[in-house]
Amino acid sequence: MRSEIILAGAMVAAAIVGVRYIDAREPVPAAGDQLQAAAPATAPSVATSAFTAQNGWRAEVKITAARDSQFYVEADVNRRPAHFLVDTGASYVALRDSDARDAGVYTAWSDYNYPVRTANGETKAAFVTLGEMEIGDIRVRDVKAFILPDDQLSVNLLGMSFLSRLESVEARSGELVLRG
């Protein structure tokens, strides 16, 4: 179990470094970016804490793993709530079209011109920049994201375009700790 947690932490760190490198070199996603979606499970518990002089970070969010060992979280997109699966394998945040519209992000069919692979197969997505995303006391502005039709994405994905902008993402003992 301990080696799995260490391996997961190393994978998250490598993904963060990779996305930061890619973001610095290429502001637009490459064709065929992969997104993976899983069916949502029961809502896990989320605990938040703010900056303290002892630990030095601004905010911390702890997400308990769901029964299916995945991490699900409620996040605000432009101050509107949406349910997400934390997915370090997704290069970008991926939003269902209906949740994007709820957050005031509107796309036209002509905007869906980025080919992506999902668990449901290959499809086209719209590429946008979200004004802000918030989880607990962690807020990130100008988050790059894909918008996909609802029938192509069963749950929103919290990908590396958000996660790589945090101070740290750490998996340990059945919980995911986000610091930002």
Summarize pLDDT for 51-99 with one digit per residue, the tens: 444 445 579 999 999 999 999 999 999 999 999 999 999 999 999 999 9
Lowest mean pLDDT among 64-78, 105-119, 158-172: 105-119
Q: What is the pLDDT of residue 53?
A: 43
What's residue 117's pLDDT?
85
DSSP structure string for 133-179: EEETTEEEEEEEEEEE-GGG-SSEEE-HHHHTTSSEEEEETTEEEEE
Q: How confident is the model at residue 20 (pLDDT cuts 50, 70, 90)?
A: very low
pLDDT at residue 45 tops 60: no
Residues 6 or more apart in contact with residue 145 via CB below 8 angstroms: 92, 93, 94, 95, 127, 128, 129, 130, 159, 161
DSSP 26: -
Q: Identify the pLDDT of residue 46.
A: 54
Residue 170 pLDDT exceeds 50: yes
The predicted structure's pLDDT at residue 139: 96
Average pLDDT, the chain: 80
Strand ranges for 4-137 from DSSP E: 33-34, 46-50, 59-64, 72-77, 80-86, 93-96, 114-118, 121-135
Q: What is the pLDDT of residue 29?
A: 58
3-state secondary structure of 12: helix
| Residue range 120-129: mean pLDDT, rounded | 92
- Give the whole-angstrom CA distance, residue 71 versus residue 104: 26
> φ and ψ at 99, to 5 degrees?
-70, -35
Percent of the chain predicted with pLDDT > 90 = 63
Residue 32 in tokens: 């065929």
* Phi and psi based region of residue 24 (left: phi greater than 0; alpha: psi -120 to 50; beta: remaining): alpha
Average the pLDDT over each of 23-32, 101-110, 123-132, 148-157 and give the range with the smallest value. Answer: 23-32
What is the per-residue pLDDT for 13? 44
Q: Return the pLDDT at 58.
A: 76
